[in-house]
Structure 1
Amino acid sequence: MWHNLVKKQWMALTCAVLLLAGLQAEWCLAAHPVTQEKGPAILLVTFGTSVESAQAAFRTIEQRVKAAFPKAEVRWAYTSKIIRKKLEKSGTRIDSPEMALARLMDDGYTKVAVQSLHMIPGIEFHELCDNARLFGQMDGGFSKVMVGWPLLVSDTAMDKVLKEILTRVVPKERKADEAVVLMGHGTHHPSDAVYSAMMYKAQKTDPNVYVGTVEGSPSFEEIKEQLVQKKIKKAYLVPLMTVAGDHAKNDMAGDEPDSWKSQLTKAGIEAVPVMKGLAEYDAIADMWVEQLKVTIAHLQ
């Protein structure tokens, strides 16, 4: 029943998401002529994190990007105002995407590739596209500015990410009768359908692999109910996120009663968190780099 329901929801909702994303893609590139070209510069944009251990994912991304584009100017921006303010109090200043674009414009760059490091094309990605488009329309500013897609934007990308998680991220000692639960963030945007699509694909690959979300669908309650019904005794919890930040540390693996780990433990299921973000793995980080290569090519 769940399998058929998810399949129908996935097909309908994914069509809607891809339609919206396709329309939005027209806004991700803005251009007008300038007399002298400088760039392209690369702006890496993510939600951000204040968890020090999670920064390893960003370091991996930056290393892979600089290896692919050794002569390019590479800068960072966080979309989360809360994270930026928190880091500023500890002496670390990170720009918002808008401020970072303004600085690049002020520094004379005329071509900019903005690479989204988000998981799905949700609200933050579409806002990023809108604002990049507006920067590209300013007289005397950028000649071209283009936003690269997030990670999970195609059937092929979802299949590849799922394969990498099951072969590289999930511990080798995991047994066939033990569950793997991937934690996505979830969103009120139509792109939340991506998580249902990932759940559908996960179940087709391995009936003991699940995808849940903190704030969307499928919910953790749905996943927990299925684990209990199947009498699962052990489950590996894996962040379906760029970094193993606050959500992974607290909502997934925390000791509070409402964390996924605590709720599974209460249900008699041993929970084993895997505290690494997906961008810490070279093969997955390189998927964002490949998106960036396409974006750079369109700027030439």
Structure 2
Amino acid sequence: MRRAILLVAFGAGTPQGRQALRAFDGMVRARFAGWSVRWAFTSPLVRERLAQARQKSDSVRKALRRLRFERFTQVALQPLQTIAGAEHEEVCAAAAEADQAPDMRCRVGAPLLAAPSDVEDAARALARHLPPDRLPDEDVVLMGHGARHAAAARYADLALALRALDAHVHVGTMGGAMALEHILPRLTSARVWLMPLLS
């Protein structure tokens, strides 16, 4: 039996983003010794840039075809998405297609904020990682991708959970109802910290 973990991310276009993905890769490899760890990227632009740099640039479907060709029999797909939006649905669809093959089983893990209980856990974890130099009355804005999908409501749930822990922590998204222009009027401190809520 050959087993693999397929980590699925949007991808990263900056050195810091790639470093974060490498660090995540290292943690997964340490935790799941004996499993082959592979990557797939959902962003066509990221895949194109990787291909131009002659680096692996698999989509989810291409990565699954490659794993089947290499005779892996069990594949755990772990998306690094924040919510179970359209991108996550595409990952699930690709896994369901691959799972039709008689010689390979595919299972998909949940994104970060899949269930209401995940929101409370994530809020507590994020609160522990606020900037250490921040003063208690300084605002922090955590920015996520956002989505035009029902699952985007999880961002609002996370915002409420974080504000219950710290009234100066806000959650915004690059699109949708929680866009930055909706948060700006609530910011009252002279210095505001901007933190990514991206994978």
In which range does the TM-score fall when normalised by the shorter chain? over 0.9
**Under a length normalisation based on structure 1, what TM-score does the superposition of the two structures give?**
0.64
In structure 2, C-alpha distance between the alignment counterparts of 1:91 and 1:50, rounded to whole Å: 15
| Amino acid in structure 2 at the alignment position of 1:42 | I
CA distance in 2, matches of 1:235, 1:163: 20
Matched, 1:103 2:63: no
Q: Aligned partners of 2:12 and 2:112: how far apart in 1? A: 18
Residue of structure 1 aligned with 2:134, choices 159, 165, 174: 174
**2:183 matched to 1:226?**
no
Match of 1:204 in 2: 164
Deviation at 1:219, TM superposition (A): 1.7
Moved more, 158-167 or 102-111: 158-167
Amino acid at match of 1:160: D
Q: Quick one: percent identity of the two aligned structures?
A: 35
- Larger RCO, structure (CA 8 Å, separation 6 or more): 1
Structure showing greater radius of gyration is 1
Give me the whole-angstrom Cα distance separating, in 2, the residues matched to 1:180 and 1:53.
20
Amino acid of the structure 2 residue aligned with 1:48: G
Aligned length: 199
Partner of 1:57: 20
Which of 131, 135, 141 does residue 103 from structure 2 map onto?
141
1:186 aligns with 2:149: no
Q: Matches of 2:100 and 2:68 in 1, distance apart?
A: 12
Aligned-partner SS, 2:112: coil
Secondary structure, counterpart of 1:161 in structure 2? helix
**How far apart, in 1, do the equivalents of 2:132 and 2:25 lie?**
28
Give the Å deviation of 1:156: 3.1
Unaligned runs of 5+ in 2: none
Residue 211 of structure 1: how far off its partner (Å): 0.6
Q: Specify the code of the residue in structure 1 equivalent to 2:133.
A: E
> Which runs of 4 or more aligned residues in structure 1 lie more than 3 Å from their structure 2 counterparts after TM superposition?
none
Q: Which runs of 5+ in 1 are unaligned?
A: 1-37, 243-300
Q: Distance in 2 between matches of 1:89 and 1:57?
A: 21
Q: 1:87 aligns with which of 40, 45, 50?
A: 50
Question: Counterpart amino acid of 1:235?
Answer: V
C-alpha distance in 1 between matches for 2:90 and 2:112: 17
Larger strand fraction of residues: 2
Q: Is the Cα contact below 8 Å between 1:185 and 1:216 reproduced in 2?
A: no
Larger fraction in helix:
1
RMSD (CA atoms): 1.4
Tell me the SS of whatever aligns to 2:40: strand
**TM-score (normalised: structure 2):** 0.94
Q: Is 1:115–1:149's contact at 8 Å kept on the other side of the alignment?
A: yes
The equivalent residue for 1:254 is none
